[in-house]
Amino acid sequence: MTSAPPGGTITIAGKTVSRLGFGTMRLTGPGIWGDPDDRHTALSVLRQAVHTHGISHIDTADAYGPHTVEHLIHDALYPYPEHVLIATKVGFQRPAPSQWKPLGDPFYLRACVEASLRRLKMERLELCYLHRFDPEVARDDQIAVLHSLQDEGKIGHIGLSKVTPLDMRYVLRHGDRPVAAVQNALNQTDRDDDAVVQLCATLNIPYVAYRPLNAGALAQTHGPRAPLHWLLAQGQHIAPIPATSQPRHLAEIVSAVQYSPG
């Protein structure tokens, strides 16, 4: 295991974790659908992320597969180390490979949370994101069911994904619960999220940056170091979650941030 958390540390959902997290979306078949071609390698990448490289923030979703990656996380890491935060997301339907449809029906969201608990073999999802707001369902209803699940002890902290400043202010204004984290796309190509980045900084909300390498495009020429350091420099509340399915690529990513200030 590495001597220091890669990228330094950050507190998310009440837990101090490595600022560099690991996004698990690529641990499936093509189109983020079905099982990976090499299940052994997928399990190995998860174990190496935690036990070799010291990553303690693992990000997933029930939609990855769907359900595939939550099963992989259980098989690779259970029983989960106390210092590791496993965050998942609910609120998407997957009709077919590469197809994603928001579904915020409260009964569906409740069923998703309870199914994730079973797949991950957890009593509580420490951090559960609403993967997307469903525009066809009242936002209050989508948040209310997550609050109910939180009251029941099935969710510890609630996060929001792919949100605007208006979404955030609406949730904060109409609810009495904090937003534990925001997860949006941010990288050197997709830079147009300054308003959410700044709002999160003002409110002391961790900003979890997905697609930090723009699906690998930003690392093709000179590697991952420059784009990841650019992200980390945007604020101490930024926590990138690069995704990969290959042990070699994972090692390169960790090495790129190993000496970044925490």
Structure tokens at 193: 């999220």
Q: How many CB atoms lie within 10 A of CB 151?
A: 10
Sequential DSSP letters for 154-221: SEEEEEEES--HHHHHHHHHH-SS---EEEEE-SSS----HHHHHHHHHHT--EEEESTTTTTGGGTT
Query: What is the model's pLDDT at position 215?
Result: 87
Cis bond before residue 79 (omega within 30° of 0): yes
CA distances from 171 to 19, 134, 147, 148, 247 (A): 25, 14, 11, 15, 39
Query: What is the model's pLDDT at position 261?
Result: 46
Selected catalytic residue, list 64, 129, 207, 210: 64
Helix, strand or coil, per DSSP, at residue 70: helix
Structure tokens at 163: 């949100």
- Could you give the domains of the chain? 9-257 (3.20.20.100)
What is the spatial distance between Cα 79 and Cα 89, in angstroms, rounded to a whole number?
20
What is the spatial distance between Cα 56 and Cα 49, in angstroms, rounded to a whole number?
8
Residue 170 annotated to the active site: no
Query: What is the model's pLDDT at position 3?
Result: 65
Contact criterion met (CB below 8 Å) for 238 and 207: yes
Query: Degrees (nearest 5) of the Cα angle 232, 199, 129?
Result: 80
- List per-residue pLDDT tens for the chain, 262 residues long: 456 899 999 999 999 999 999 999 999 999 999 999 999 999 999 999 999 999 999 999 999 999 999 999 999 999 999 999 999 999 999 999 999 999 999 999 999 999 999 999 999 999 999 999 999 999 999 999 999 999 999 999 999 999 999 999 999 887 778 999 999 999 999 888 999 999 999 999 999 999 999 988 898 888 999 999 999 999 999 999 999 999 999 999 999 998 644 4
